[in-house]
Amino acid sequence: MKYRAIKGVKDILPGETEKWYFIERHVRDIFETFGFSEIKIPIIEKTPLFVRGIGETTDIVEKEMYSFEDKGGDSITLRPEGTASVVRAYIEHGLYNSHPLTKLWYIGPMFRHERPQAGRYRQFYQIGAEVFGEESPSIDADIIVMLMELFKRLGLNETELQLNSLGCERCRPLFRERLLDFIKNRLPMLCEDCNRRFESNPLRVLDCKSKNCSEVIRDSPSMDGSRCEGCQRHLDGVIEYLLITGIKYRLNPRLARGLDYYTRTTFEVTDKRLGAQDAIAGGGRYDSLVEDLGGPQIPAIGFAIGMERLASLIDMGDNLIPPSSPKVYIAAMGEEANRKAFDLLYQIRLRGISGEMNYSDQRFVPNKSLKSQLRKGDQYGVSYTLIIGDNEIKSGKVILRDMKRAEQEEIDIQDIVEVLVKRIGR
């Protein structure tokens, strides 16, 4: 084959898109109930937004961004994640002036030049949610409850919620020192990336996906015992609120996450069925990001769900919406019949019934025999076929064929739309 999709980028074909639509319907429903409004953010942004927002020493910024110079000489990047753009939009449009609490959600493709493998793509979709303007732990719990409720409604019952608090600018440096001390002696045992991370951002070593590295740092210092009193109280508060709703969680004091902006609460939802790339969603609090990107000091928290991974876990079962197939096929023999078929097709579609017809007009392409047209109707899997020939036009009738029963009858042309509406039920 001459042209193929780029490595790590995949088509979502009919059959699969119905599943995506099913997920999106639940997302809209639940997120709106929790008070979120949708924001549509651009796919491209100026590169410095991501460098500043995500952090210069993260894997994403160091090696995974699709950046290019546009014709005006600006460095532009295909968004690798949504939070930086949402924060930019929040500041740019002064959204903090309208409501004390701003709750936004988005959906769309993200781009990261990662090594493609099962569950890891270079273009992938994320559904994300962000809340601005609240520091209390109840909002952390609220957003986690919303996420877990979504998974529950989608029928996922093997997920695990991992929870941590990465502390704040007061207590995290202490933890960083303890971690540096621990890693220093083990550097030769760690991968090349971790050696680089050690210099720039040792917390990232905790996030390394290599089996060997995870083994080496298994007993590393964790955030437990390093948090200041305020951060510990905040984490306890998140747990207290989560317990009210009965949501199960596992504390993982080594949960780091790959982005620099997180402060205090971080969480990840995993599902073992996903294999090596087992995270379906991740998120956390980012209390300094709005200010870092030039806005006022406003605390915030959010998460992002990986759509491909989520879709791969959903068994549609009884909810399976079959790929849309036409209900009616119109077979037409003759010029006049073709025009009548076109008119009827338009009229039934106006009434919400999907249909197809024999489009081939003998003035342009050789006519198809009635038999081959009927076969086509069969292939579509329609419930009814209409047959119109020049004779039918003369007598003002059409033949209505019930495909399942293999029965047919003559109906007056002017009644046929109503008859179909009645039988198909719309």
User: Looking at 53, 295, 306, 377, which residue binds ligand AMP (CB under 6 A)?
Assistant: 306
Residue 160 touching ligand AMP (CB under 6 A): no
Interacting stretch for ligand AMP, rule CB under 6 A, among 120-128, 164-172, 183-191, 244-252? 120-128
Residue 77 touching ligand AMP (CB under 6 A): no
Q: Which amino acid is at 231?
A: C
DSSP 232-297: HHHHHHHHHHHHHHT---EE-TT---S-TT-EEEEEEEEEGGGTTS-EEEEEEE-TTHHHHTTS-S
Q: Which amino acid is at 252?
A: N
Residues 270-289 that bind ligand AMP (CB under 6 A): 279-282
| CA-closest candidate to residue 393, choices 342, 327, 326, 328 | 342
Cα–Cα distance, 37 to 53 (Å, whole number): 23
User: Looking at 36, 106, 121, 151, which residue binds ligand AMP (CB under 6 A)?
Assistant: 121
Which of 113, 196 has the CB closer to ligand AMP?
Answer: 113
DSSP 285-302: E-TTHHHHTTS-S--EEE
Interacting stretch for ligand AMP, rule CB under 6 A, among 18-26, 87-95, 302-310, 385-393? 302-310
Residue 9 touching ligand AMP (CB under 6 A): no
User: C-beta of 292: minimal distance to ligand AMP in Å?
Assistant: 18
User: Looking at 77, 126, 222, 252, which residue binds ligand AMP (CB under 6 A)?
Assistant: 126
Interacting stretch for ligand AMP, rule CB under 6 A, among 306-314, 329-337, 365-373, 374-382? 306-314
Residues 379-408 that bind ligand AMP (CB under 6 A): none
User: Looking at 81, 207, 271, 287, which residue binds ligand AMP (CB under 6 A)?
Assistant: 81
User: C-beta of 250: minimal distance to ligand AMP in Å?
Assistant: 16
Which residues are bridge partners to 111 per DSSP?
A: 123
User: C-beta of 244: minimal distance to ligand AMP in Å?
Assistant: 26
Residue 304 touching ligand AMP (CB under 6 A): yes
Using DSSP's 3-state secondary structure scheme, residue 55 falls into coil
Beta strand 328-333 pairing with 355-357? parallel
Cα–Cα distance, 325 to 210 (Å, whole number): 46
Beta strand 123-132 pairing with 75-78? unpaired
State the sign of the Cα–Cα–Cα–Cα dihedral 301, 307, 309, 313.
Answer: positive
Structure-token pair, residue 58: 């993260």
Which of 111, 241 has the CB closer to ligand AMP?
Answer: 111
Which of 304, 328 has the CB closer to ligand AMP?
Answer: 304
Which of 247, 255 has the CB closer to ligand AMP?
Answer: 255
Which of 54, 344 has the CB closer to ligand AMP?
Answer: 54
Is the CB of residue 23 less than 8 Å from the CB of residue 310? yes
User: C-beta of 115: minimal distance to ligand AMP in Å?
Assistant: 9
Which of 131, 386 has the CB closer to ligand AMP?
Answer: 131
Using DSSP's 3-state secondary structure scheme, residue 83 falls into helix
Is the CB of residue 201 less than 8 Å from the CB of residue 260? yes
Which of 112, 227 has the CB closer to ligand AMP?
Answer: 112
Which of 64, 336 has the CB closer to ligand AMP?
Answer: 64
Residue 146 touching ligand AMP (CB under 6 A): no
Residue 308 touching ligand AMP (CB under 6 A): yes
Residue 123 phi/psi, 5-degree rounding, is: -120, 125
Taking the CB of residue 211, how many other CB atoms lie within 10 A of it? 9
User: Looking at 31, 50, 105, 124, which residue binds ligand AMP (CB under 6 A)?
Assistant: 124
CA dist 408 → 47, 241, 344, 411 (Å): 65, 64, 18, 10
Which of 115, 218 has the CB closer to ligand AMP?
Answer: 115
Which of 88, 309 has the CB closer to ligand AMP?
Answer: 309
Site string for ligand AMP, 221-250 (x = CB under 6 A): ------------------------------
Which of 171, 269 has the CB closer to ligand AMP?
Answer: 269
- Nearest residue to the partner ligand AMP, using Cβ: 306
Lay out the sheet containing 102-111: strands in order across. Answer: 37-38, 102-111, 123-132, 300-306, 279-285, 263-271, 159-165, 250-251
Is the CB of residue 281 less than 8 Å from the CB of residue 306? yes
Residue 120 touching ligand AMP (CB under 6 A): yes
Phi-psi region of 233 (alpha: psi -120 to 50; beta: other; left: phi over 0): alpha
**In the complex, which residues of this chain contact ligand AMP (CB under 6 A)?**
81, 112, 114, 119-121, 124, 126, 258, 279-282, 304, 306, 308-309
